[in-house]
Structures are given as structure tokens and as C-alpha cells.
Amino acid sequence: MDTDRPSHEEWKKRAFVGRLPDSFLRIERNVQLEQEAADQQAALALHQQMRSKSMSVAPDPRIGRLSITITQAKLVKNYGMTRMDPYARIRVGHSIFETHTDTNGGKNPHWNKVLQCNLPPGVTQIYVEIYDECSFVMDELIAWGHIEIPPQVIQKGETHEDWYMLSGKQGDNQEGMINLVFSYTTNYPYMGSSLMMIPSATMFGMPYAPVNVYTAPPSVVTPTVVPSSLPNAEVELKQIAEMFPNVDREVIKSVYDANHGKKDITINSLLQMCE
């Protein structure tokens, strides 16, 4: 038996018996104040780091809205026993859009469909497919093609119209053409002010303390005047729409804006589209 080991009575004598002091297991006030001051300094440092990072990175010029007008297509062959019922499907980034079906459109379907979407950063081309809508079997893929977005549309905000070659069963770029009109409007996002929650004295069991971090709003940019928003534009658009009753009003408006509100040039452009 170990004689050097203290007895039970000796252990009891060593134990502290009585009322505990008020400061037992408590944090002094100066420690809490120091922790709160350190948290505020950390929040300010994080805010300065975020401001300097946001100022050093230039905004992506591709952040904006892309408008695509799918006017018509000219295909080289009619597949099936009767005239085809074509519709177009377009993929922009991960977004997919479809036109209505041109019943009995055959080899020359007309859609005059205007779609608008956000252009993701880095996307420079779209993917187009044309299907023949079928009743009792799966829709048949007729033509397809990767189409580059014209650089001047993104860089200069110009409107561009052109015919683009399609591939299919006949071979690469041998299935026909599709007529598209591109336009682009810059639309930078604004995040506004934010509220960041910085923990205060968490290691001591204290509650969280909110710290307001204000982000200044961007400078005001004067918007570009769109021709179709001018007072006399409504009258001219109505006159042009009466001349082209089969053309969608949004298509007329897009062509009108692309020609900077010039009525005669707009009419000539629409005549070429309807040929």
C-alpha cells in the first residue's frame, strides 16, 4: 500500500469549502471591451479589403441583355409526306428558348419571334436548331448550327441582321439559312448597401454584434435615348405596322431602333426581310 498517498481526510482539508467569489468563472469587463474593439477593427479591415478588390476589378462589358429576333428560315428540303411544321430552338449559355410552330411553313417558315435574355460572361455564340413538329412521333431535328454573336453588337451596342448557314442531313452548311437580328443593351448590376454580421467575443460566449458596412452607390450614368421612346415615334410605328400587318410589333420596333428612328430606312429593311 502506498503510504505517501494523502488520506481521505487530508483531501477534504485541501478542498475549498464555502461561498465562491463573485468573479469565479467570469470575464472581467476590460476583456470584453478589448474583444469588441478587436472585432470592430477586423470588420473595418475586411471592408477596406472588399472595397479595394471591387475597385481593382473592371466590370465585365458582357453583363447586359441580348435581344435576338428570329425572323425566318429558308431550308433546302421538305422532310416528310406533307409540308413541315417547323419551329426554332435557341440556346444561349444554359438558357433555352423556342419559337412558336409555323404550321405548314414547309421550307420557308416565318416566326418573327423576339427573345431577350441575359448574356453570361464569356458566351460568344449561340446554338440554333430547327425541328419539324410531329403529332404521333418525336419531333424531327431538321437543321442546326453554331452562330457567332457579331463582335460589334457587344462592343459597340450596334444592331446586326444577317443570314446564317445551317447544317443537317445534306451536310455542313448545306441545309439552308436562318435570318437573325442581334442587339445588345448594357445592364450593370447594382448590389447597393449591405449588412455584415461580425461575431463579437464568441469565444467567451457573448452574443453576436452586427456591424454595418456601407457600400457607396455607383455614379449615375445618363441612359441612352431609344428612338422608339420619343413622342413622335408612336405615330410612325403605327403607320409602319399598318404597312406590315404580318410582322410582329416588337420586330418593327427593333428594326426602327436599329435604324435610329429613320422611317424610310426602316420600311426598306422590313421589305427586305419580307421578301
DSSP-H helix ranges across 77-198 = 151-156
Residues of the chain with CATH 1.10.8.10: 222-275
Residues of the chain with CATH 2.60.40.150: 64-187
C-alpha cell at 69: 429576333
- CATH architecture of the domain with residue range 64-187: Sandwich (2.60)
**Was domain 222-275 assigned CATH 3.40.50.720?**
no
- Segments of the chain with pLDDT less than 50: 56-62, 188-222
> Which residues are paired to 182 by β-bridges?
68, 160
* DSSP string across 47-66: HHHHHHHHHHSPPPTT-EEE
Helix (H) or strand (E) holding 168, with range, is strand 160-168
Closest CA to 148 of 178, 126, 173, 171: 126
